[in-house]
Structure 1
Amino acid sequence: MPAIGIDLGTTNSCVAVFRNGRVEIIANDRGHRITPSFVSFVDNERLVGEAAKLDATENHENTLYQIKRLIGRTYDDPTVQADMKLWGFTVINDDNKPKIPVVHSCGGNIFCPEQISAMVLEEMKNAAEAFLGETVTDAVITVPAYFNDSQRRATHDAGEIAGLNVIGMINEPTAAAVAYGLDREIKNQRDVLIVDLGGGTFDVTIVKIEGRKFYVRATGGDTHLGGEDFDNILVEYFVSEFKQQHGEDISDNKRALNRLRVACEAAKTNLSSSTQAKVRLEALQGGHDFCSSISRSKFENLNHNVFERVLDTVKNTLSDSGLKKENIDDVVLVGGSTRIPKIREMLGKYFDSIKIKRTINPDEAVAYGAAAYAFALGSDEDSALKEFALEDVIPLSIGIGRRGGTMSFAIPRNTKIPTKVCENRLTVVDNQKRVTFKIYEGERTLARDNHFLGKFTLSGIPPAPRRKGKIKVHLEINACGILHASAFEEITGNSSGITIARDKGGLSESEIKRMVQEAEKFRKKDQELKRRSTARNALEDYAYSVKKEVDHKNLTTPKRICIMSSVTEILEWLDINKKEPPEMAELEARKIELEQLVE
């Protein structure tokens, strides 16, 4: 059974497989190699991909996108609060977990981000199965290098809900480096800097490549920086301009905002090849048409701060790696947003002695690397991946809160993974019976300034004077970058621990099981709807073919009238039931009846 690699993107997703000595990018059912990460609920139907994206303007409340910006985050996260204002759908607060209500099958459903991401993953799985002609279960899913532990666990859960066995997770820029290295068969050591700027996330990774061996030196990034931010800035700009033109504020009109967002995305894309782009929308609000334009220079000025953040991240990652820009052999651009001319100009100017590499497809490279890694994790062998080795690092330091509010750095950032560390701790008060350990990630001295991951308590410590009770604390990060923390008291043997994200607001095992069952119901319903749609189309095609050919048959007048009457009745019946295909049994019965009549 082949293992696939899936690039689960904020804006678009892609799937690939390694077979016959090479990676193959898999096209969806429309023949396109990338699929929009959109899910839409229409009447009794669920749409995923391009069909869902096309439905976004009219069905904005039930069309979900950019879900990667929600996954693994809390409702009160400032980035979630900011994004909510610009989305066409609604996000609600469920015990500080962001969830999305939609209307489906004449009823209401509330989904968590993991479930929506699972629907996109399942679409990738289905495309792979159609391409390979066999069932696919094992998969490697990519994540931004700067995803925290909660976001990684949530992505892993989404894969499980989609019916996938997630055999590994790989950082997106690392996957791109694998694609670049394998494509070129680099013989001598080269230090390659990957700039991965996609729809919603930004990563910079420096990788040492030797043949088919990949060693990550350092990584940096921002989980909330990408093409969607350029779109948001354009939306805000044109909202202000519409208000100046017509005196009306459309910021609370979600349908108008959704239409404007689509137009802004198109304008941004046009500015990559043209110096001017127009935005035209009829009856945007209050019957007012909106017509405006924006120049490339104005676009660059509006996004000046974003561009600065991109370059600052590149510089900081270089500093973390211990290398200078002169030590970098290649700079590789990945992600659709690296097509923006200012990004290329800015990086080209900074790395003045290096030609920026654009030789790999920025939309497909991450899935390419994930597929190669998925194959390497399996038991099969191929000469093309002989001696393949991958060594990644953690993006943020992991530490334990100390008394007084400081943080003890247990695992420094850019430590190679998988890794495991053990720290000895002493009790801090006389006769202390329990200790609570708070785990953080970040680089600040004070624990409160870092990202709180979770906590657990070790109880049953034997009474002893302060600093005499001894506890061992273990922190372990697996190859997927998921953290497990535990503590052990030597005398009693008592222990306690957590897998951080699972305890910190993540999905429980029972919730995942329930969502898997719900996904299976959706899957069966979608399959049944597809069968009914196919049967409906077959009946309609047959009715029209009979209508076309009846005059050429040697039939009596009553027979001809009877056949045409039946054809007309069937076509009218299908037209009445065009929103929802009739039941299979009824469709098949009508087709058999017409066939018998024609005989």
Structure 2
Amino acid sequence: MPTIGIDLGTTNSCMAVFRNGRAEIIANDLGNRVTPSYVSFTGNERLVGEAAKEEATEYFKNTLYQIKRLIGRTYDDPSVQADMKLWGFTVINDDNKPKISVVHDHKRNVFRPEQISAMVLEKMKIAAEAFLGETVTDAVITVPAYFNHAQRKATRDAGLIAGLNVIGMINEPTAAAVAYGLDRQSDSERNVLIFDLGGGTFDVTIVKIKGRKFDVKATGGDTHLGGEDFDNILVKYFVSEFKQQRGEDISENKRALNRLRVACEAAKRKLSSSTNAKVQVDALQGGHDFRSSISQAKFENLNHSFFERVLDTVKNTLSDSGLKKENIDDVVLVGGSTRIPKIQAMLEKYFDNMKLKRTINPDEAVACGAAVYASSLGFVKDPALEEFALEDVIPLSIGIKSHGGKMSFAIPRNTKIPTKVRKTRSTVADNQERMGIKIYEGERALIKDNHFLDEFTISGIPPAPRTKGEVEVLLEINACGILHVEAIEKITGNSSEITIARDKGRLSENEIKRMVQEAEKFRERDQELKQRCNARNALENYAYTVKEGVDQKNLTRQQRESIMSKVTEILQWLDINKTEPPEMSELEEKKRELEEISQ
């Protein structure tokens, strides 16, 4: 059974399999090597991928995209609040969890971000099975290097809902490093900086590569920085320009914003190869057409602060790695947004005119690396990966709440995994018999500014003056990034432990089970709809065949008129029902009527 690697992207997704000694991209059902991360609900139909993206302007309220920017986040997250203003669909607040509200099958449905991502993953799974000719269940899914525990857990949940057994997760730039390293295998040691700027996230990872051994030195990034932000800046700029031209504000017009976004995305792409791009939208609002243009220089000026953040991240990651820029042998570009000329120019200048490596496809590299890692974890290992070894790091520090709400750092960020650390905690009151252990991740000095993971309590501490009672806390992270924490009272040996494989407020086992069942219902409904569409097309083809064959048969005028009358009736009936295919029983009955009269 093959194991695949999936790059679940903000804008586009890609998948690959490692076989016969190389990574091979798996094309989707349309033959395309990348699939838009879009889901659209049109009437009673659910569309995923290219078909969904095509509906973005017409069914803007029910076409969902950039869901990766919601997954694992809270509703009150400032980035969620900012993005909501520019999205055509509706995000609602459910106990501070963002959920998406759409109208489907003539009723309102509410979905969690994990469910929408699962629909994209399921689309990929089905395409992989068609491509490989066998069932696919095991997969490795990539995540941005700076995704926190909640975002990683939510991504894993999406895989489970899609019917995938997620055997591992790999940081996106690390996956790209694997793809680059195996493609240009060398026995000499090289320090490689992977610069991964995609549609919604940005990562920098520094890897020491020697042969088929990959040693991650440091990783950094921003989970809310990418091409979508550059689009947003353009949208805001042209909203202001339209207001100046026509005196009308379209910032609350979701349909107009969506249509303008499509035009801005196209302009951004053109500016990667041209110094000027037009932005034109017919009847944008109030019957007014919008005609404008933007220069490459203006685009760079509008996004200046974003570009500066990008370079700051590179400098910080270099500092964390203990290397200087002179120690970097290769800078490898990954992600569609690295096509922006200004980004390339900034990097080349910073690295003293080093020639940037663009030798791997920026849209496919991450999926290829994930496929390599998936093969190394799978039951059937490719002989080409016998010497493959990967040492990754944790992206965020792990700590324990200490007295006064401070963060006591236990495992610093960029620590290699697997790892094990012991910390001693002392009592803070006389005769204290219980101690709560609260675990956080983040880099801030106070726990209130970091991300809460989980908590547990150890009891049975022998009475003693404050600070004299001691508990040893063991924190262990395995190769998959799962954190296990155990607390042991030194005198009695009493212990308590917890495995932080899930997050407070994330999906429970029952919720996942329910969503898997809902996904199965969607699959069944999609299959039924496909059968009805096929039956409708078959009936229409049959009606035209009968119509064309009337003149070739030896029929009376009355017989000919009777047949043509029935053909016209059925074609008109099909035309009336073209938006929603009729039920199978109705289609079968119409075909039977036509068969009887034509025979």
Which category describes the TM-score, using the shorter chain as reference length? Answer: over 0.9
Runs of at least 4 residues off by over 6 Å: none
* Residue 509 (1) aligns with residue 509 (2): yes
Which amino acid letter does the alignment assign opposite residue 483 of structure 1? L
Match of 1:137 in 2: 137
Maintained 8 Å contact 1:27/1:34: yes
Which amino acid letter does the alignment assign opposite residue 235 of structure 2? V
Range moving further from structure 2, 63-72 or 575-584:
575-584
**What are the superposed Cα offsets for residues 317-370 of structure 1, whole Å, 9 maximum, x if unpaired?**
111111111111111100000000101111111112521011111011111111
Match of 1:125 in 2: 125
Q: Could you tell me how far apart the structure 1 residues matched to 2:169 and 2:578 are? A: 43
Structure 1 residue 480, shift from structure 2 partner: 3.2
Which amino acid letter does the alignment assign opposite residue 188 of structure 2? N
Match of 2:494 in 1: 493
Maintained 8 Å contact 1:399/1:441: yes
Structure 1 residue 576, shift from structure 2 partner: 1.8
Match of 1:231 in 2: 231
TM-score (norm 2): 0.96
Which amino acid letter does the alignment assign opposite residue 232 of structure 1? N
Q: Could you tell me how far apart the structure 2 residues matched to 1:581 and 1:154 are? A: 36
Q: Could you tell me how far apart the structure 2 residues matched to 1:75 and 1:394 are? A: 26
Match of 1:266 in 2: 266
SS where residue 109 of structure 2 aligns? strand
Q: Could you tell me how far apart the structure 2 residues matched to 1:549 and 1:423 are? A: 86
Q: CA 1:183–1:549 in structure 2 vs 1: closer, same or farther (change >3 Å)?
A: farther
Maintained 8 Å contact 2:36/2:50: yes
Range moving further from structure 2, 555-564 or 421-430:
555-564
Maintained 8 Å contact 2:456/2:496: no
User: Size of the alignment, in residue pairs?
Assistant: 598
Match of 2:571 in 1: 571
Match of 1:103 in 2: 103
Maintained 8 Å contact 1:532/1:581: yes
SS where residue 166 of structure 1 aligns? strand
Range moving further from structure 2, 300-309 or 282-291:
282-291
SS where residue 289 of structure 1 aligns? strand
Tell me how large the CA RMSD over aligned residues is: 1.7
* Residue 286 (1) aligns with residue 283 (2): no
Match of 1:365 in 2: 365
Match of 2:161 in 1: 161
Q: Could you tell me how far apart the structure 1 residues matched to 2:417 and 2:441 are? A: 15
Q: Could you tell me how far apart the structure 2 residues matched to 1:276 and 1:30 are? A: 32
Structure 1 residue 467, shift from structure 2 partner: 2.7
SS where residue 61 of structure 2 aligns? helix
Maintained 8 Å contact 1:456/1:498: no
Structure 1 residue 159, shift from structure 2 partner: 0.4
Structure 1 residue 496, shift from structure 2 partner: 4.1
Structure 1 residue 492, shift from structure 2 partner: 6.2
Percent identical among aligned pairs is 78
Which amino acid letter does the alignment assign opposite residue 269 of structure 2? T
Range moving further from structure 2, 557-566 or 340-349:
557-566
Maintained 8 Å contact 2:484/2:497: no
Structure 1 residue 26, shift from structure 2 partner: 1.3
Q: CA 1:219–1:503 in structure 2 vs 1: closer, same or farther (change >3 Å)?
A: closer
Q: Could you tell me how far apart the structure 1 residues matched to 2:261 and 2:307 are? A: 20
Structure 1 residue 172, shift from structure 2 partner: 0.3
Range moving further from structure 2, 278-287 or 108-117:
278-287
Match of 1:310 in 2: 310
Match of 1:28 in 2: 28
Q: Could you tell me how far apart the structure 2 residues matched to 1:533 and 1:256 are? A: 32
Q: Could you tell me how far apart the structure 1 residues matched to 2:175 and 2:554 are? A: 66
Q: CA 1:45–1:240 in structure 2 vs 1: closer, same or farther (change >3 Å)?
A: same
Q: CA 1:313–1:50 in structure 2 vs 1: closer, same or farther (change >3 Å)?
A: same
Q: Could you tell me how far apart the structure 2 residues matched to 1:435 and 1:217 are? A: 36
SS where residue 90 of structure 2 aligns? coil
Within a 5 Å distance, the mapping from 1:203-214 to structure 2 comes to 203-214=203-214
Q: Could you tell me how far apart the structure 2 residues matched to 1:97 and 1:484 are? A: 26
Within a 5 Å distance, the mapping from 1:54-453 to structure 2 comes to 54-453=54-453
Structure 1 residue 545, shift from structure 2 partner: 2.1
Maintained 8 Å contact 1:201/1:222: yes
Structure 1 residue 427, shift from structure 2 partner: 1.5
SS where residue 518 of structure 2 aligns? helix
Maintained 8 Å contact 2:453/2:500: no
Structure 1 residue 596, shift from structure 2 partner: 5.0
Structure 1 residue 30, shift from structure 2 partner: 1.6
Maintained 8 Å contact 1:152/1:482: no
SS where residue 86 of structure 1 aligns? coil
Q: Could you tell me how far apart the structure 2 residues matched to 1:135 and 1:166 are? A: 15
Which amino acid letter does the alignment assign opposite residue 495 of structure 1? S
Range moving further from structure 2, 517-526 or 16-25:
16-25
Which amino acid letter does the alignment assign opposite residue 426 of structure 2? L
Q: Could you tell me how far apart the structure 1 residues matched to 2:531 and 2:487 are? A: 54
**What are the superposed Cα offsets for residues 49-69 of structure 1, whole Å, 9 maximum, x if unpaired?**
111111111111111110101
SS where residue 281 of structure 1 aligns? strand
Range moving further from structure 2, 553-562 or 518-527:
553-562
Structure 1 residue 597, shift from structure 2 partner: 4.4
Which amino acid letter does the alignment assign opposite residue 55 of structure 2? D
Structure 1 residue 396, shift from structure 2 partner: 1.5
Q: CA 1:585–1:174 in structure 2 vs 1: closer, same or farther (change >3 Å)?
A: same
Maintained 8 Å contact 1:488/1:494: yes
Which amino acid letter does the alignment assign opposite residue 174 of structure 2? T
Maintained 8 Å contact 2:149/2:503: no
**What are the superposed Cα offsets for residues 423-473 of structure 1, whole Å, 9 maximum, x if unpaired?**
222222112132222222223333334333343333444433323333232
SS where residue 173 of structure 1 aligns? helix
Within a 5 Å distance, the mapping from 1:448-527 to structure 2 comes to 448-489=448-489, 491=492, 493-499=494-500, 502-527=502-527
TM-score (norm 1): 0.96
Q: CA 1:444–1:572 in structure 2 vs 1: closer, same or farther (change >3 Å)?
A: same
Which amino acid letter does the alignment assign opposite residue 302 of structure 1? L
Maintained 8 Å contact 1:149/1:483: no
Which amino acid letter does the alignment assign opposite residue 543 of structure 1? A
Match of 2:51 in 1: 51
Which amino acid letter does the alignment assign opposite residue 156 of structure 1? R
Maintained 8 Å contact 1:40/1:52: yes
Match of 2:590 in 1: 590
Q: Could you tell me how far apart the structure 1 residues matched to 2:280 and 2:399 are? A: 52
SS where residue 357 of structure 1 aligns? coil
Q: Could you tell me how far apart the structure 1 residues matched to 2:445 and 2:107 are? A: 50
Q: Could you tell me how far apart the structure 1 residues matched to 2:32 and 2:260 are? A: 25
Q: Could you tell me how far apart the structure 2 residues matched to 1:418 and 1:573 are? A: 65
Range moving further from structure 2, 466-475 or 108-117:
466-475
Q: CA 1:594–1:23 in structure 2 vs 1: closer, same or farther (change >3 Å)?
A: farther
Q: Could you tell me how far apart the structure 2 residues matched to 1:580 and 1:552 are? A: 34
Q: CA 1:60–1:478 in structure 2 vs 1: closer, same or farther (change >3 Å)?
A: farther
SS where residue 390 of structure 2 aligns? strand
**Unaligned regions of 5+ residues in structure 1, if any?**
none
SS where residue 292 of structure 1 aligns? strand
Structure 1 residue 590, shift from structure 2 partner: 3.2
Q: Could you tell me how far apart the structure 2 residues matched to 1:68 and 1:111 are? A: 14
SS where residue 520 of structure 2 aligns? helix
Which amino acid letter does the alignment assign opposite residue 426 of structure 1? S
Q: Could you tell me how far apart the structure 1 residues matched to 2:348 and 2:571 are? A: 62
Q: Could you tell me how far apart the structure 2 residues matched to 1:228 and 1:508 are? A: 31
Q: Could you tell me how far apart the structure 2 residues matched to 1:200 and 1:388 are? A: 30
Q: Could you tell me how far apart the structure 1 residues matched to 2:201 and 2:341 are? A: 18
Structure 1 residue 310, shift from structure 2 partner: 0.7
Q: Could you tell me how far apart the structure 1 residues matched to 2:562 and 2:477 are? A: 74
Range moving further from structure 2, 212-221 or 139-148:
212-221
Range moving further from structure 2, 280-289 or 255-264:
280-289
Structure 1 residue 546, shift from structure 2 partner: 2.1
Q: CA 1:579–1:489 in structure 2 vs 1: closer, same or farther (change >3 Å)?
A: farther
